[in-house]
Amino acid sequence: MICAKCGAQMDQVDKNTFTGRVIREYACRKCGHTDWEDDGAALWQVLHDARAEDKAEAAAHAAANAAAPQPGVSQPVLQPPASLWQRLTRLFREKK
């Protein structure tokens, strides 16, 4: 990082990741000017996000597998829409 005040090369003096982002702090050896830069998401934050995505993906896969017919696995016979409708309307009829 170049010092904004005198143009000298600055030294990295600190690195913070507690906010979930890498914040690098620099100090100029020549004039003492300090500055910092945001170096993007911290590694642990990236890993955390990746795990969350893995879980979401796994859930999506599980849902897709549940919905898709599996070769060699017998599927339960689907109820025709009419019988479902009859069961629903019977519930309403019984309440009256």
Interface with Zn ion (CB under 5 A): 3, 5-6, 8, 28, 30-31, 33
| Inter-residue contact 33 to 5 (CB < 8 Å) | yes
In degrees, rounded to 5, the angle at the alpha carbon of residue 46 between the alpha carbons of residues 44 and 52 is 105
For residue 1, the minimal CB distance to Zn ion (Å) is 10
Give the span between the Cα atoms of 57 and 37, in whole angstroms.
Answer: 33
For Zn ion, the closer of residues 31 and 41 by Cβ is 31
Helix H or strand E encompassing 6: none
For residue 34, the minimal CB distance to Zn ion (Å) is 9
For Zn ion, the closer of residues 24 and 33 by Cβ is 33
For Zn ion, the closer of residues 8 and 47 by Cβ is 8
